[in-house]
Amino acid sequence: MRLRSNVAVLFGVLAPLTVGCGGASPAAAPSGGAKASSGAAAERFFPLEEGRLYHYLTRENGETGMLVARVHRSDATHGELRLTNTTKRFVYGPSSVSYDGGATILKDPIEVGASWPGEHGGTTKVSAVDTNVTVAAGSYSGCVQTVEEGGRMPGARYATTYCPGVGMVLLEISAAGNEARAELKSYGAPVKIE
């Protein structure tokens, strides 16, 4: 089990990685510095803001590394996470955030016990809402944790924590006695050095 590939795959669900909660709001175009937003409640926990960078510290079986993803937001309902060797595309629907043509990352209602088919063939359930988490990037509150179990890999468990206005801050994977983790180290606009 390789964490970097699992994290890259999971970026389609997050997702990461939406601003605002509640009823529909007018969609904004990503040009001119405006933030594109679908108005979907789930987007609050998986915001993809044009140009943002996410840096994750990874750890698997004693080895550490880093994963970097750059956001591209093409319009109010479509976004991408561009990694070194792949691009993950996402779609914001009226009540969910999903991989383009694939699995659901987050779905309304975001409440404990809500469930949907998971990316890895199991069932994803909301296990906690309004939870607090501390990672390398800082401490966050009001977060949501999902857990997928019962998938194609027997005994595998994927626990993902999404925080409002930030996106995915923590991913913990356990399977067949192995453990892997990715935690947010930093996120934001790229720094220009002149």
Q: In this structure, what token pair is assigned to residue 30?
A: 């990503």
Question: Hey, what domains does the chain have and what are their CATH numbers?
Answer: 3-23+36-188 (2.40.360)
Q: Is the pLDDT reported for residue 46 higher than 80?
A: yes
Q: Is the pLDDT reported for residue 6 higher than 90?
A: no
64-122 pLDDT, tens digit per residue, is 999 999 999 999 999 999 998 999 999 999 999 999 988 999 999 999 999 999 999 99
Decide: 143 and 157 in contact? Cβ < 8 Å. Answer: no
Q: Is the pLDDT reported for residue 166 higher than 90?
A: yes
